[in-house]
Amino acid sequence: MNMPDVRASPGEWQEYRHDSGETLGFRFIRSARRTIALYVHRDGSVLVRAPLRSPFGEVCLFIRERWDWLQNHRARFLREPPPRTLLFRDGEPVLHLGEELILRVQPAARMRALRRDGELHLAVPSQAPEDNSAIVAAVEAWQRREALKLFPARLATCHGVMESLALPLPQLRVRKMRSRWGSCSRSAVVTLNLELIRMPLDCIDYVITHELCHLVEFNHSSRFYELQARFMPDWKERKGRLEALARR
């Protein structure tokens, strides 16, 4: 396979031709990172990020070595139905920490949310009580406040369980992510998906423990899974519950 040593500009659309003759178009971005990373989105599109000085031929080799994985993930995502648009209406359930809260929407002068007796009471500006985008924004603002209270405590708890490894306590970030529950950087920054606040505590702890294990094994090798099982023997069951809830 011919892999020319050329440089692609940031954000450029590139194509890779595999030995089989298949062609893959992908978005290519260079940034100040140490390794090449490959992302497959739910719509089947592909993003490749690479260090600033990596030869483009090295990027092509990276794609070639992961070709089967890449095609399997694209096929799986394209088989699945696209995520539904979030619709929050008065009287409908909202999932929070694995529990269904009944949404109660009322018009008000300013936005606010209060959880009470199995319900989430939501006030939205009086001019838009039926505006789904306003309701979604209010729910997500409440979820973010809850996540910023809960996630640091769960991170500290999971970190304490792994005390024997003498790991640094990572910096925590919370944001919405399209296709990942969490990530961990080599600089000890753990990022958690805001959507995790909808999941039970045991699933949240599974994601956090998974990311903490990456501080020791920055890969998904057999050593990584042995480490994960050492501190969370039932991680497969927790992962299964997380995936089942996400599909629901």
- Does residue 85 belong to any structural domain of this protein? no
- Does residue 73 belong to any structural domain of this protein? yes
Task: Say yes or no to pLDDT of 235 above 90.
Answer: yes
* Residue-number span of the structural domain to which 97 is assigned: 93-247
* pLDDT at site 8: 40
In 3D, which of 192, 181, 193, 179 has the Cα closest to residue 83? 179
15: enclosing H helix or E strand: strand 12-17
* Neighbouring-strand partners of residue 20: none
Same domain, 108 and 31: no
Same domain, 143 and 112: yes
Counting the structural domains of the chain, the total is 2
Reported as a single tens digit per residue, the pLDDT across 41-87 is 877 788 898 998 889 999 999 999 999 888 888 877 766 655 555 66
* pLDDT at site 190: 94
Contact 219, 208 (CB under 8 A): no
Same domain, 26 and 105: no
- Burial per residue of 69-93, b for 16 or more beta-carbon CB atoms within 10 angstroms, e otherwise: ebeebbeebeeeeeeeeeebeeeee
* pLDDT at site 202: 96
Q: What are phi and psi of 96, to 5 degrees?
A: -145, 115
Task: Say yes or no to pLDDT of 125 above 70.
Answer: yes
Three-class secondary structure of residue 212 per DSSP: helix
The two structure tokens encoding residue 177: 């992510």
Same domain, 75 and 145: no
| CA-based R_g, the chain, Å | 21
Same domain, 228 and 174: yes
- Burial per residue of 117-147, b for 16 or more beta-carbon CB atoms within 10 angstroms, e otherwise: eeebbbbbeeeebeeeebbeebbbebbeebb
- Does residue 57 belong to any structural domain of this protein? yes
What is the bridge-based pairing of β-strands 93-96 and 99-108? antiparallel
Per mean pLDDT, which of 13-22, 42-51, 170-179, 192-201 is the most reliable?
A: 192-201
Helix-strand-coil split of the chain, %, nearest 5: 40, 25, 35
- Does residue 4 belong to any structural domain of this protein? no
Q: What are phi and psi of 107, to 5 degrees?
A: -70, 150
Same domain, 112 and 72: no
Reported pTM: 0.66
Percent of the chain with pLDDT over 90: 42
The chain-wide mean pLDDT, for the chain, equals 85
Across residues 102-123, what is the average pLDDT? 84
Reported as a single tens digit per residue, the pLDDT across 56-66 is 999 999 999 99
